[in-house]
Amino acid sequence: MNSKQWQCVDAGSDYCPCHLAEENSCIICTQLQGKGYCDCNWMGVCIYDEFYFSGNKKKEVREPKEYSVIDSKVVGRVMVLSIQVTKYMARVLKQPGSYVFVRNKHSDYFFDVPISIMDCDEEKSLIKMAIEARGIKTKKLMDHGGIIIVRGPYWNGIFGLNALKTTQDAKCLVLARGIAQAPAILPIKHLLKNNNVVDIIVNKRADEHNFIEEYFGGPIKEVDMSSNDVAILCRKLMKKNNYKLVFIGGSDVLQNKVIKYMKETDNVKFVTTNNNAICCGEGICGSCIKKDKTGTLVRTCKAQKI
């Protein structure tokens, strides 16, 4: 992987160096990619030194643990859970793009499913997530019995984190469709905290619950995101408001459609939900690997474009 284009979201964390360092596949460190020279763009503590002085071993891994479900609310096919976690977990999962792997306590580890964090309460040590029952794994979670297995924290649920975190005093546009409203909550909070003005558009289907309105109220525009109307509207709003950042929470089809209509605009940063298949979250299994425009294989569960 070209370390000058990609950065690892785990770099410098409690989980770095990781399994990839042991396998000469580190996303950042060229020496831990099997090369005999240092040519990284990492500005933190040297990952190679950390690995060397720990006896050429990875740091501790994220272990699955049982947590209590404090509140469970079902809205259509979506279940919203409030889970009592540790103070540490509540603090580190407040970051935009945070997610965890969860499963029913009676299920084996291969039932783990990545779920975005919708909100955190650090004082009460609570995390909140919205789970849509679609397949075997998510349907199994509906019968949680008051206890759920959680493995985390993970942070690469959003692409464009650097742009999101550095945007200040600007006008921003947020689009969120269906269950992708959940990972949009923390980014909106972060943008508002940085004194940005945020316009919000959600899908107008009647069977989709409006989670964002519960958090931020109005005015929130509603538009049919299955048609080209949403892209046309975004282009009109861009000309009027000159947005500096656009967040798109939804499918790759929605993301590509909106970006295509707005790609001619200058100086706009796009931030999107990570819709790739994520299985292990550690960059090992290969289910999330994609090729970028240069043909470089990217572990999208951990890598951020810089």
- Report the domain count for the chain: 3
Q: Check: CB of residue 114 under 8 Å from CB of residue 101.
A: yes
Residue 119: name the closest of 129, 133, 131, 110 by CA: 129
Whether residue 166 lies inside any domain: the answer is yes
Residues 198 and 262 in one domain: yes
Whether residue 24 lies inside any domain: the answer is yes
Domain harbouring 224, CATH code: 3.40.50.20
Q: Which amino acid is at 258?
A: V
Distance of alpha carbon 127 from alpha carbon 112, whole angstroms: 18
The range of the structural domain enclosing residue 113 comes to 65-154
Residues 99 and 185 in one domain: no
Boundary residue ending a domain (128, 154, 180): 154
Structure tokens at 64: 């699955």
pLDDT at 113 over 80: yes
Structure tokens at 130: 């919205």
Bridge-based pairing of strands 289-291 and 297-299 is antiparallel
Per-residue pLDDT reduced to its tens digit, 247-297: 999 999 999 999 988 876 668 999 999 999 999 999 999 999 999 888 889
Q: Check: CB of residue 22 under 8 Å from CB of residue 34.
A: no
Q: What is the pLDDT of residue 210?
A: 83
Whether residue 282 lies inside any domain: the answer is no
Whether residue 178 lies inside any domain: the answer is yes
Q: What is the pLDDT of residue 296?
A: 86
Residue 176: name the closest of 198, 151, 145, 143 by CA: 198
Residues 175 and 229 in one domain: yes
Q: What is the phi/psi pair of residue 232, to 5°?
A: -65, -45
Boundary residue ending a domain (126, 154, 182): 154
Boundary residue ending a domain (103, 133, 154): 154
Distance of alpha carbon 257 from alpha carbon 279, whole angstroms: 27
Domain harbouring 145, CATH code: 2.40.30.10
How far is it between the farthest Cα atoms of the chain?
58
Per-residue pLDDT reduced to its tens digit, 147-194: 999 999 999 999 999 999 999 999 999 999 999 999 999 999 999 999
Calculate the CA 226 to chain-centre distance.
23
Q: Give the strand order in the sheet containing 171-176.
A: 158-159, 269-273, 245-249, 171-176, 197-203, 221-223
Residues 170 and 237 in one domain: yes
Whether residue 306 lies inside any domain: the answer is no
Q: What is the pLDDT of residue 4?
A: 66
Whether residue 214 lies inside any domain: the answer is yes
